[in-house]
Amino acid sequence: MTENKETIMKRAEEAVLHTYNRYPLVLEKGEGVYLYDTEGKQYLDFAAGIAVQGLGYHYPGYDEALKAQIDKLMHTSNLFYNIPAMEAAEKLTKASGMSKVFFTNSGTEAIEGALKTARKYAWLKDRRDDHEIIAMRHSFHGRSMGALSVTGNEAYQAPFRPLIGGIRFANYNDLESVRAQITERTCGIILETIQGEGGIYPATEEFLKGVKALCEEHDILLILDEIQCGMGRTGHMFAWQEYGVKPNVMTCAKALGCGVPVGAFVLDEKAANGSLAPGDHGTTYGGNPFACAAVSTVLDLFERDGIVEHVREAGAYLTERLDELAERYDFIEERRGKGLIQGLAIQGRPVSEIVVKSQEMGLLVITAGNNVLRLVPPLIIEKQHVDEMIEKLIRAF
């Protein structure tokens, strides 16, 4: 017999380090685009495990592929080759049009690899050890010391100083601000193609193309963080593809494994041929057969079932319905986002209260920044799910 919710939460608080202020829900299972708690209540999932569950829950073909891999091989280390890693890398380079892949266990680790790539690239040119990286204010790239160092949020950084040095911050969507930070020591510029945790801010085309031009002019690497906005979420496999601005290094994770913890940094030919070499970087678990079977399967299913094309249609409908809400309610300042990564900026009332009220109505949504209601549902939602979400959200309002 399953323990009651209160007992489960109490046991968790006694055993698990309290670094998360969790909502009082114990989720037990999922099906399609719905989650169910231990009390049997159904929730329409517009959070997707923070944009991870791109294919929802128990998508046809996903579970079967992973079960088959478990029966074959779970882990070997990178001392040997394995077939799923090879296949996943081939498919990821094809989808991105880039050159080489390094698989990691998380998005944060992908950021670490990207930063090392930029510094090694510059070091090979001049053998200096004082290179700098330009990052954006209000960004989020992860919680490790390196990723935290390029996360432009004082509240996240303050308790953990000193962080790694050589980081300068510019303003997102402000090209002159970026230009002003470039020096002869600059080796990389890192930014999210759509700022996620900072409040769902897409890059403008002028800004992204301008930053790319600065990188080419000064021979520095452009790193685009697609951990949250990539893998089809905007209606393109990667958000930068809509802009026609290919990075030198791209980081991805979240929906890359659709539930299995896996990330990657992907390099273009210039970065791949002029940076990391044997001995420069490594990981015990990264690229293991089980995780890479998930990546390979996800990429196959995306192609087989036209997931990216579906997101364009579903995302257009979600945008339309959210714009209607913004017109209807004065406390919605604006809608921001692309495809199925959307945010409603709320003024005059705590967004956290809306999240809790939504849960009472059987809807899971999350926040971004200080005042943004974030909607990042599974990529397989249909119009009826958007309508259901709107109806529940109105009741929460």
Q: Delimit the CATH 3.90.1150.10 region(s) of the chain.
A: 5-59+306-396
| Residue 56, CB-side half-sphere exposure with 13 Å CA sphere | 21
Q: Strands of the chain (E only): list them.
A: 27-31, 34-37, 42-45, 100-104, 132-136, 167-170, 186-192, 194-195, 201-202, 221-225, 249-252, 263-267, 332-338, 341-346, 363-364, 366-368, 372-375
pLDDT in tens, 295-316: 999 999 999 999 999 999 999 9
CA nearest to 211, candidates 184, 257, 243: 243
The reported pLDDT for the residue numbered 392 is 98
d(CA 249, CA 86): 19
d(CA 274, CA 179): 24
Within 8 A by CB and 6+ apart from 391, the residues are none
Report the length, in residues, of the chain.
397
Please give the distance of CA 131 from its chain centroid, rounded to a whole number: 27
Reported CATH class of domain 73-304: alpha beta
The reported pLDDT for the residue numbered 2 is 67
Q: Is the peptide bond before 377 cis (omega within 30 degrees of 0)?
A: no
SS3 354: helix
Q: What is the CATH number of domain 5-59+306-396?
A: 3.90.1150.10
Q: Delimit the CATH 3.40.640.10 region(s) of the chain.
A: 73-304
The reported pLDDT for the residue numbered 1 is 52
**pLDDT, tens digit only, all 397 positions of the chain:** 568 999 999 999 999 999 999 999 999 999 999 999 999 999 999 999 999 999 999 999 999 999 999 999 999 999 999 999 999 999 999 999 999 999 999 999 999 999 999 999 999 999 999 999 999 999 999 999 999 999 999 999 999 999 999 999 999 999 999 999 999 999 999 999 999 999 999 999 999 999 999 999 999 999 999 999 999 999 999 999 999 999 999 999 999 999 999 999 999 999 999 999 999 999 999 999 999 999 999 999 999 999 999 999 999 999 999 999 999 999 999 999 999 999 999 999 999 999 999 999 999 999 999 999 999 999 999 999 999 999 999 999 9
Question: What is the pTM (predicted TM-score) of this model?
Answer: 0.97
